[in-house]
Chain A
Amino acid sequence: MSKLTEKHNYKGTLVCVEGIDGSGKSTQLALLRDWLKSTGHDVIFTEWNSSELISQTTKLAKKKNMLSPRTFSLLHAVDFADRLKQVIDPALKAGFIVLADRYAYTAFARDVARGVDPQWVRNVYNFAIKPDLAIYFDIDPKNSMERICSNRAPKFYEAGMDLKLSNDPYESYMIFQGRVTKEYQKMVDEFGLIKLDAMDSIHSKQVRIREMLREVLNNKGVNI
Chain B
Amino acid sequence: MTQFKTKHGYEGLLIVIEGTDGSGKSTQLQLLKKSIQAQSYGVIISEWKTSRLIANVIDDAKERNLLNATTYSLLYAADFADRLENTIIPALKSGFIVLLDRYYYTALARDVVRGQDIEWVKNLYDYAPEPDLIFYLDMPVDVLLKRIIGTTGLNYYESGRDVGFSSDFYKSFEIYQNKCLEQYEKMKSEYNFISIDGTKSIDEIHSIMNHEVQKILDSGVLY
Contact = CB atoms under 8 A, between A and B. Distances in A.
A148 to B, nearest CB: 27
Nearest to A83: B71
Give the dominant DSSP class at A's interface: helix
Contacts of B61: 53
Contact of A123 (B78, B85, B86, B120): B120
Which of A68, A74, A120 neighbours the largest number of chain B CB atoms within 10 Å of its CB? A74
A54 B85 contact: no
Contacts of B43: none
A156 to B, nearest CB: 16
A66 B57 CA distance: 15
Contacts of A77: 74
A52 interface: yes
B75 interface: yes
B81 A85 contact: no
A188 interface: no
Interface range for B: 20 to 34
A120 B126 contact: yes
A87 to B, nearest CB: 12
Given A68-B85, A74-B81, A127 B74 contact: no
Nearest to A75: B78
A106 B70 CA distance: 19
A57 B55 CA distance: 11
A57 B77 contact: no
B87 to A, nearest CB: 12
Interface range for A: 20 to 34
A70 interface: yes
Interface string A69-81: 0110011011001
Contact of B70 (A71, A81, A120, A123): A81
Contacts of A81: 68, 70-71, 74
Nearest to A81: B70
B54 A57 contact: yes
Contacts of A140: none
A68 B81 contact: yes
Interface in A177-204: none
Given A53-B66, A74-B78, A82 B124 contact: no
A7 B78 CA distance: 30
Given A57-B57, A71-B85, A126-B120, A85 B70 contact: yes
Contacts of A74: 74, 77-78, 81, 124
A61 B57 contact: no
A78 B127 contact: no
B82 interface: yes
A41 B91 CA distance: 56
Interface in B75-102: 75, 77-78, 81-82, 85-86
A84 B126 CA distance: 24
Contact of A66 (B53, B67, B68, B123): B53
Given A84-B70, A120-B127, A123-B120, 17 more contacts: A52-B66, A53-B57, A53-B66, A54-B54, A54-B75, A67-B53, A70-B81, A70-B85, A70-B127, A74-B77, A78-B71, A78-B75, A78-B78, A81-B68, A81-B71, A81-B74, A127-B70
6 contacts: A54-B71, A74-B81, A78-B75, A82-B68, A82-B71, A85-B71
